[in-house]
A and B are shown apart, each in its own frame.
Chain A
Amino acid sequence: MTDTALSGVYVLDLSDGMSGGYCSKVLRDLGADVIKIEAPRAGDSTRGMGPFLNGVPNIETSATFLYLNAGKQSLTLNLESYEGRKILRRLIGNSDVLVESFKPGMMDALGLGYSELEKLNLALVMASISYFGATGPYSDYEGSDLVAYAVSGYMYLTGDEDREPLKAGGSQSEYQAGMAGAMSIMAALTHRDFTGEGQHIDVSAIEALNATFDGVGYYSAYENRGVVPKRAGTRLVQREPHGAYPSTLLPCKDGWVHVHYSPSNPEGIAMLTGDERMESDDVLSEMRGHADEIDASLTEWLKDHTREEIQTLAQEIRVPFTMVQSIPEVLEDPQNTARGFFVDIEHPEAGALKYLTSPYRLPESPWHAVRAPLLGEHNRDIICGALGYSDGDFQRLKEANAI
């Protein structure tokens, strides 16, 4: 078997939803073995999220589940049953990492709090991912992707200045919470390698999104200059008049492009458009202050050119303009095709689809394309194989609704 960055790291993913799913997906992409523990019958909530094959709800063809759980094993466990919890405790004894995303306090109520679990496995790294975090006055508040986007402060920075704030597409607070989980788990595994001891990690989604403000002076702009950072359309938030510009989306002949100033070729925009004013000291010394004028000048040129022409012409002179591509276009674009970023994976119910490969390119840690598991697909392997239960035990566990 080939070695991977996380060879020999066994992860139990007890989480429900996208944040924990992405957390353990990252660990899987880096080579860990992941068992996804799901509720019997309905399974993980991402199995109900879709979009589904032909638009027909089916727990085995939900895009969200298929993407996040490719390459993991699925074990169904009923944690409300004594036998279900017993199986979980046995697995914990043999695992390195446990990821969970219940509301704070729920694991304790199930008798599965960290203080109990560390008695089973001193080296266990347990990550608890929640919207508000495990402590603090809002820790028992109900969260969601949208709520985290608001309370983190991110929503106030997204959208048009004169309209209501806007949520980013997809489920970014879930992804950032999952990512913060993966990062902190790696730190805790390192600590464990040197000390032998595990620990409990408290991850907060609102903090994970707020952490993405590093480098823009989100707090210092207010404290030092009285400026409250605010959404600015597709322009970057909070810049002074002499700040660099453009960085925005503008329409062109066949869609939209992202236009961006070029640090290595500041006159590049004037070269493209032929508008000499765009290379004048007046404009270049105060670019953000001339944002409307720069947009107007560019729009005049862009309207006669297609996205592809614009990207090619600009990039030839090191001006970083890029096309706005739709999801179907991204799937087929020449760069993704040349890099093999999408690979075909066959799934018995969802069929053959193009899946994203791992964003980690590690020559010593090859990534393998494996489909997402069917609900409970690995129940027998894990319970009879790894844990040594007999066929009769397995049957009894099924009948008792423990699995």
Chain B
Amino acid sequence: MSDNNQRNFPLTGIRIVDLTNVIAGPVSTRVLAQLGAEVIKVEVPWGRAIGNIAMHTDVPGELRPYNKVASFNEVNRGKRSIAIDLAQEEGRILLREIISVSDVVIENYSPRVMGNLELSYESLLTERPDLIMVSMPALGGAGPWSSYISFGPGTDALGGLSDVTGYENGPPHKPGNYYADHNSAFHVSTGIVAALSQRRRTGKGQRMEIVLREVTMAVIGEQFLGYQLSGDAPVRMGSHHRDAAPHNVYPCRGDDEWVVIAVESDEEWRRLCDAIGNPNWSDYDRFATKPDRLDNQDELDSRITDWTRNQTNYEIMHKLQGHGVKAGAVLKSPDVLSDPHFKSRGFIDETDHEDAGTNHHPGLPFRLSRSERRMGVAAPMFAEHSDWALAELLCLEPSDIANLRDKNTTPLEPVDRTF
């Protein structure tokens, strides 16, 4: 890890102990690491397979495959790593010592695990009275479903997001990928910085709970009020809009190539007509006003499709935008990588990792005019910062370190699974 700790990061001096796994938790601390926090990833001693989720590796080869897990290397950029066997008493003591010199602990185990490991918030306060501790249960630490387990996509279902996502007249759907996890990640990282700001004023830490399902509900909050106000439960409408037409995705030249067009006002509609050359539709009047367009939108979509299908999505986006019409190409991964706009903003993060090679990742979606961001720093290798943590952070004696290594309490290479 390149050591650029002296630079002008907003969160310099904040130390975070990261006990989280999979996506939501690690992404929240990745954001904080890229803002300058020192995040210590506490890993299990047997390596980086996440449950039985098989993850592809960044580069092939038998040498240290555990350092090449693509997902791990992406969500742990900019962090430090130590492996600790928490099944051992010595391991739990070691973790408590690290926590005693840290500002924040974050975990996303199911609610009972931290207690079973004797790492409850109350017991950690003896190490660090002003500790900020963050828990990220799926459904909440209290309530009749508190013991239920769910991953992010399951909270789309239980929280209502699946119900409002889907094709017209089709079944419930979900946003692709791990939307709920990422949504909770940004809520968590924001909450942590807010709790730290309160602690600077009051000297008090606290235990923060952020529930995956509740932040999913928070980003469709208007749906709950809308239903109560109007008396109508929301209906799935594909990419159409309640109050705008045309508003859809249209096929373009090429294989699986698409463009979106979003027109709301009659003025925007006239601009769209100008852009497509004022076609001489005999029944043009059927689309003149917004209510007309909403009433006849399937017909309208098919007319627009006739125009889009022989041009590329980029051509259409640029042409329509030139007329002040909201339009956007549906980009794919290679498109984003080569897109001049993304490029010019330097959004994509490039890392060089000793075992995993050069890779690209999504960066931070904001730029700060006076603070720097810690971009371009790869994820740590397994236990890469173990020596640093034991010798420099905790100032342990060499004989104590040797003892911990002998017992595999904090190994430098993955060991066989013990629990």
| Docked CA distance A360–B195 (Å) | 11
If A5-B198, A214-B362, A256-B172 touch, whether A66 touches B53 (CB-CB below 8 Å) is no
B166 with A219: CB separation less than 8 A: no
B146-178 vs A, Cβ < 8 Å mask (1 yes, 0 no): 111111011111111111111100011111111
Q: What separation, in Å, do the CA atoms of A228 and B333 have in the docked complex?
A: 6
Please tell me if the beta carbons of B222 and A257 are within 8 angstroms of each other in the complex.
Answer: no
Report chain A residues within 8 Å CB of B54. Answer: 239-240, 242-244
Interface flag for A394 (CB, 8 Å): no
Q: Which of B231-239, B287-295, B381-389, B407-415 has 4 or more CB atoms under 8 Å from chain A?
A: B231-239
Q: Write 19 A-B pairs (CB below 8 A) sorted by A numbering.
A: A49-B243, A55-B230, A63-B226, A141-B328, A150-B258, A150-B260, A153-B333, A158-B165, A158-B175, A168-B175, A170-B219, A184-B364, A187-B11, A191-B368, A211-B363, A212-B362, A219-B359, A219-B360, A331-B228
Residue-wise, chain B 305-332 has the 8 Å CB interface mask toward A (1 for contact) of 0000000000001000100111111111
Pick the residue among B193, B201, B228, B362 that contacts A353 (CB under 8 A): B228
Question: Which residues of B252-280 have CB atoms within 8 Å of chain A's CB atoms?
Answer: 256, 258-260, 262
Residues in chain A near residue B61, CB distance under 8 A = none
- B143 proximal to A (CB < 8 A): yes
Interface residue A203 (Cβ < 8 Å from any Cβ of B) = yes
Q: Which of A140-197 contact B (CB under 8 A)?
A: 141-160, 163-170, 172, 175-177, 179-184, 186-191, 193, 197
Q: Does chain A have a CB within 8 A of B220? A: yes
**Are A168 and B179 in touch, CB under 8 angstroms?**
yes
Q: CB-nearest residue of chain A relative to B234?
A: A327
6 A-B pairs closest in CB distance: A263-B51, A169-B164, A157-B176, A51-B226, A258-B157, A207-B365
Q: Which residues between 33 and 57 of chain A lie within 8 Å of chain B, taking CB atoms?
A: 49-55
How many A residues, CB 8 Å from partner?
Answer: 163
- 8 Å CB interface, A219-244 against B: 219-225, 228-234, 236-237, 239-240, 242-244
A-B Cβ contacts below 8 A, count: 535
> How far is B227's CA from A350's CA once the two chains are assembled, in angstroms?
13
**In the complex, A145 Cα to B166 Cα: how many Å?**
16
Select one of A6, A165, A176, A239 contacting B183, CB under 8 A: A176
Given A215-B75, A249-B171, A338-B144, verify A350-B215 contact (CB < 8 Å): no
Q: How far is the CB of B168 from chain A (nearest CB, A)?
A: 10
- Kindly provide the distance from the CB of B235 to the nearest chain A CB, expressed in whole angstroms: 10
Our pick among A166, A208, A260 for the contact of B166 (Cβ within 8 Å) is: A166
What is the bound-complex CA distance between A249 and B172, given in angstroms? Answer: 8
Q: Determine the distance from Cα of A212 to Cα of B328 in the docked complex, in whole angstroms.
A: 19
Contacts of A186 in B (CB 8 A): 190, 193-194, 197
A151 and B329: CB pair below 8 A?
Answer: yes
Q: Do the beta carbons of B52 and A154 come within 8 Å of each other?
A: no
Say yes or no: A3 contacts B176, CB within 8 Å. no
Docked-complex contact A322 and B74, CB < 8 angstroms? no
Contact B329 A50 (CB under 8 A): no
A320 contacts B206, C-beta separation under 8 Å: no
* A55 vs B182: C-alpha distance when bound (angstroms): 34
Query: Which listed segment binds A: B38-46, B99-107, B339-347, B394-402?
Result: B339-347
Residues of A within 8 A of B185 (CB): 214
In the complex, chain B residues whose CB is within 8 Å of the CB of A26? 187, 190
* B375 / chain A contacts, CB cutoff of 8 Å: none
* Shortest beta-carbon distance from A205 to chain B in Å: 8
CA distance A158 to B332 in the complex (A): 12
Q: Does B218 contact A (CB under 8 A)?
A: yes
Name B228's closest neighbour in chain A (CB-CB).
A353
With known contacts A260-B151, A327-B233, A335–B177 Cβ distance under 8 A: no
In chain A, residues 244-269, which have Cβ atoms closer than 8 Å to a Cβ of chain B?
244, 247, 249, 251, 256-258, 260-264, 266
CB–CB B231/A218 < 8 A:
no
For residue B14, which residue of chain A has the nearest CB?
A: A190
Contacts of A230 in B (CB 8 A): 256, 332
Q: Distance (Å) between the CB of A136 and the closest chain B CB? A: 4
Which of chain B's residues has its CB closest to A203's CB? B366
Of residues 116 to 163 in B, which have CB atoms within 8 Å of A's CB atoms?
Answer: 138-140, 142-151, 153-163
Do residues B365 and A211 form an inter-chain contact, with CB atoms below 8 A? yes
Q: Contact: B189 with A327, CB < 8 Å?
A: no
Q: Answer yes or no: B417 CB below 8 A from chain A CBs.
A: no
CB < 8 Å neighbour of B74 from A66, A143, A212, A217? A217
How long is the Cα–Cα vector from A186 to B148 in the complex, in angstroms?
32
Contacts A147-B327, A315-B149: A201 and B179 contacting too (C-beta < 8 A)?
Answer: no
Cα distance A401–B247 when bound, in Å?
A: 35
- The B-contacting residues of A in range 3-34, CB under 8 angstroms, are 3-8, 22, 26, 30-31
